[in-house]
Structures are given as C-alpha cells and as structure tokens.
Amino acid sequence: MLATFDLAGHVIGIIVNTDLTDELLDQVILEIKARLEQYEQVNVYLELEKGHEISFKALLKGINFKYSNADFFNKFAIVTDSIWFQKAVNVSDIFLNVEVRTYDIKDRLDAIQWISI
C-alpha cells in the first residue's frame, strides 16, 4: 500500500509500507504523472518503510521511467534502509541530469528538507 502527501505544489511525497512490487510501482508512476499534469518539473520523495524491499523488476521499471522522463524531474529523494536499493539508485543515476539523493530512514527529515527546496 502507498500513501501520498504534498510538501509543496511541485513536490510529491510517496510512502510505501509494503514491498515495492512491479504492480505497486505502476501506482507510484500514476501519482507522479498526475502531478506532472500540473507542473513542468516535480520533485519526488519516495520512502520505502523499514523492513520492506523493492523487487528487481520494479527497480528496472523505475529506472526506465526516470530516464524516459528525466526532463520533468528536478530532484529525487529516496528514503530506505535497503542498502542494495540505495546503491542501485546511486549507480543508475550517474548519467541523469537530475539531483538524486538517498537517505536512511532515520534521516527522513533531512530528505524532506532537501526535497522541499
């Protein structure tokens, strides 16, 4: 399941409290696309709650979505305690012209502050 919240008009916050599957990522993408209908560029805060993981298929789909829509993103904050998810995000975003930062769950307030600017 996922919950969304607004930090500012151009910032969408998404919290996932279960494993992030391919199907659930489709819902995340729909939320982001809805925000893109209102703003030229958006910032995305994505938190995967403690104890949950992202499937490999969902990770690949997410990377593809970010690359396909990179011009519409300003910043991504990925908040998770999943080390492999953080490393995959950091490696996959080397060639994007989008600011991407990963944070541990304990540092979520820093992530919210950064993504809101």
Q: What is the CATH number of domain 2-116?
A: 3.30.750
CA nearest neighbour of 23 among 55, 52, 48? 55
CA distances from 1 to 6, 44, 61, 73, 84 (A): 17, 17, 18, 24, 21
Asked whether the beta carbons of 77 and 115 are under 8 A apart, the reply is yes
Query: What confidence score (pLDDT) does residue 6 get?
Result: 82
User: How many C-beta atoms surround the C-beta of residue 8 within 10 A?
Assistant: 13
Instruction: Report the alpha-carbon distance of residue 107 to residue 5 in Å, rounded.
Output: 18
Q: Tell me the per-residue pLDDT of 81-113, one tens digit each, with 9 for 90 and over.
A: 999 888 888 776 666 778 889 999 999 999 999
User: What would the mean pLDDT of 8-21 be, rounded to a whole number?
Assistant: 93
User: What pLDDT score does 93 carry?
Assistant: 65
